[in-house]
Amino acid sequence: MYDLQKFTLRDMSECGLALRHLGNKANSLEEASNYIIQYLYNNLIDKESGKNSCVLIRFFKTHSYGELTSELQEYAQEQLGNYLPDDSLKCLTLLATAGELPEWNSRHKSGGHKTIPLANEEAIARIPMIFQLIQQLGLNLGTVVQPDPNLLTDLEQRMYNVFYIPDALGSPYIPSQTSFVIPFNIKSVVGFGGLLPSGNMFVILMFLRVVIPRPSVDLLRPLALNVKMTILPFENENIFSDHSQHVVNDKISIATNNNDNSQYLNSQIATLTQLLDVSEQSTISQSDRLEQTNAHLQQTLDKLQNTQIQLIHTEKMSSLGQLVAGIAHEINNPVNFIHGNLIYTKQYTENLLNLIQSYQDYYPNPPEEIQELIKETELSFLAEDLTKILTSMTVGTKRISEIVKSLRNFSRLDEAEIKNIDIHEGIDSTLMILEHCMQARHGYPEIKIIKEYSQLPPIECYPSQLNQVFLNILTNAIDALQSLNESRVMGSIEEKYNHPLPTIHIRTKVLDSKWVAISIADNGCGINEEVRYRLFDPFFTTKPVGKGAGIGLSISYQIIVEKHGGKISCISIPGQGAEFVIEIPVKIKN
């Protein structure tokens, strides 16, 4: 079953193959034509409705008046009126038909199309549908009315095409609008056909209840060659199932047969060559379409992946921003309150201690109960330690304020999207946020940070996004060092103590007046070439499930390369650590 609205190259090949073999069991051109029409009528289906796509389908072929049955000759003469035809007059004759109404399933019951005399070019021009059919098939009226034997071979090998009316309603080329097109809801008309070695024309006309796209129509065109292969054996044999050819002189018959056989074989070879050409052209065309579709799908997939990564990144940064804003707000208020009151507390404490000292100066010998109380409370220690406690609390509140400031600097929630910043400030803020990850714990040594900062100019950038890059790279470095420590802890005593401390080395430098570079290197286990090649691929990760989504470095690549017009690369030798080098312009190019 084939859906003409979604007709494919595979459908064309399968349908063509089936049509080409339908003539094997036929005994006449009429039988072969019926097999072809029935196959198409039954197998072209509108899959949405489940109905046949064809309301009516018919097979026509031109024959000389002298080849027609007496019944058809009388029918043709009635249409010609006073014109007396000779035997060479071409008549477009209905050989097979199939459709919804019972009378549409027999050529003998056709009311007005049993045979149509093509008396001359003027007569054909007065029949709009036949005229347009011949034109669209690529033929000229003179060739149909009176074929030129000198041109036939060339014409036969290149004349096969489609007749296509995309909108049958109101078309001047489709007659019987009120009695046929409208009541049977004919949407479009398609036909295909060509020339035979004798110069006769054949055509299959399909009146459809569906509108088919132009690519599907073009795929019907090669079917004309398959139909031609089916009917070629009957070109000079029996036309009708109940009608024999005229008996001719034996000598003439032998000569004619020899000539016909040669002509038939040449035509068959030419048609097969055309089919091969069509097949190759269709394969090339389809391959080009597949390549274009694959390229388009790959672009769409890349866009979807990038969009997904951006959504995840945006959601994470939005959540982080909200978290930072909430933390900053919740911590800042009480810390500011405590820090502000510590100033007064220190003043009040100093005043009270001065007052107590004055009492001791004026009353050096207080009552025994007071002296006992002074001893119990250790007044001198209390006075000294209270000052230290207040100083320590002040340092602690300052430290909390610095952490909150680092969080705000990292997320840059209170700044414009593009701003000139000190990159070192962003790196330091990120390090402060990750400080707890680098502390010694559970037998793992502290991760040492070595900073070699050069004097950098202010950099025009997206601050929060650049800080996100630093966070992603530093987090990966910390994970690599901790993984290396885990493997060493599980090893021998020598492995545990005979190795350098885990270190992250951060360097910045000016490359030239327009570019700066940031290098973040660790002395971890390093990265092999295969993994390094895929580091920046979306969703690629070597971490266990649940510990990494594989978007950190992909996002970092997009931020540095696409957002800032910079470069990011990884230099690594397995066993000798990894170094990420970021190069960004001092000013973002618009």
pLDDT in tens, 420-433: 889 998 898 888 87
Q: pLDDT at position 157, please?
A: 44
The residue among 455 and 532 whose pLDDT is bigger is 455
| 3-state secondary structure (DSSP) of residue 511 | coil
Distance CA 424, CA 268 (A): 82
Measure the CA–CA gap between 36 and 318, rounded to whole angstroms: 67
Q: 86 or 308, which is more confident?
A: 86
Phi/psi for 164 (5° steps) reads -140, 120
Q: Minimal CA–CA distance to 20: which of 279, 227, 224?
A: 227
d(CA 204, CA 547): 66
Domain 4-242 falls under CATH 3.30.450.40: yes
Tell me the per-residue pLDDT of 104-124, one tens digit each, with 9 for 90 and over. 999 998 878 899 888 887 778
The predicted pLDDT at position 155 comes to 43
The pLDDT value given to residue 164:
87
> Per mean pLDDT, which of 213-227, 252-266, 491-505 is the most reliable?
213-227
Q: Tell me how far apart the alpha carbons of residues 354 and 549 are, in angstroms, rounded to a whole number.
A: 62
Q: Please give the pLDDT value at position 152.
A: 39
Count of CB atoms situated within 10 Å of the CB of 538: 19
Which sequence spans correspond to the domains of the chain?
A: 4-242, 291-414, 416-590
Q: What is the pLDDT of residues 471-491, one digit of tens each?
A: 889 988 988 888 777 766 555
CB 158 within 8 A of CB 167: no
Q: Output 289 or 521, whichever has higher pLDDT.
A: 521
Strand partners, 206: 57, 190
What is the pLDDT confidence band of residue 234, given thresholds at 50, 70 and 90? Answer: confident
39 vs 264, more confident: 39
Residue with the bigger pLDDT between 464 and 65: it is 65
Which of 63-77, 246-260, 327-341, 440-454 is predicted least confidently? Answer: 246-260
- pLDDT range class, residue 355, cuts 50, 70, 90: confident
How far from chain centre, in Å, is Cα 291? 12
* Residue scoring higher pLDDT (551 or 230): 230
More confident residue, 317 or 289: 289
* Lowest mean pLDDT segment, chosen from 39-53, 110-124, 285-299, 574-588: 285-299
Question: Which residues are registered as beta bridge partners of 579?
Answer: 521, 571
d(CA 66, CA 185): 38
Percent of the chain with pLDDT over 70: 77
C-alpha separations of 90 from 64, 73, 200 in Å: 5, 11, 8
Instruction: Give per-residue pLDDT as tens, 32-52.
Output: 999 999 999 999 999 888 899
133-147, 244-258, 382-396: least confidently modelled range = 244-258
Candidates 233, 215, 220, 166; CA nearest to 194 is 220
pLDDT of residue 235: 77
Q: Say what the pLDDT of residue 481 is.
A: 87
Q: How confident is the model at residue 274 (pLDDT cuts 50, 70, 90)?
A: low
Superfamily, domain 416-590: Histidine kinase-like ATPase, C-terminal domain (3.30.565.10)
pLDDT band at 153; cut points 50, 70, 90: very low
Q: How confident is the model at residue 187 (pLDDT cuts 50, 70, 90)?
A: very high
DSSP states of 554-585 as a string? HHHHIIIIIITS-EEEEEE-TTS-EEEEEEEE
Report whether 230 contacts 23 (CB < 8 A): yes
Least confident residue range of 266-275, 421-430, 472-481, 559-568: 266-275
Tokens of 448: 């040492």
The candidate with the shortest Cα–Cα distance to 460, out of 549, 589, 570, 354, is 589
Residue 186 pLDDT:
94
Query: What would the mean pLDDT of 496-512 be, rounded to a whole number?
Result: 83
Contacts of 560 (CB under 8 A, 6+ apart): 469, 566, 567, 568, 582, 584
Rounded to the nearest integer, the mean pLDDT of the chain is 79
Q: Which range is most confident: 79-93, 406-420, 572-586?
A: 572-586
Amino acid 520 reads I
What is the gyration radius of the CA atoms in the chain, in angstroms? 46
* Range in 168-172, 433-437, 505-509, 585-589 the model is least confident about: 433-437
What's residue 409's pLDDT? 62
Higher pLDDT, 492 or 25: 25
Same-fold call for 4-242 versus 416-590: no
Please tell me which residue, 255 or 585, carries the higher pLDDT value. Answer: 585
Going by their DSSP bridges, the two strands 503-510 and 115-117 should be labelled as unpaired
Question: pLDDT at position 367, please?
Answer: 84
* Residue 185, SS3 per DSSP: coil
Among 208-222, 293-307, 364-378, the range of highest mean pLDDT: 208-222
Q: Are 478 and 447 in contact (CB under 8 A)?
A: yes
* Gap between the Cα atoms of 140 and 572, Å rounded: 75
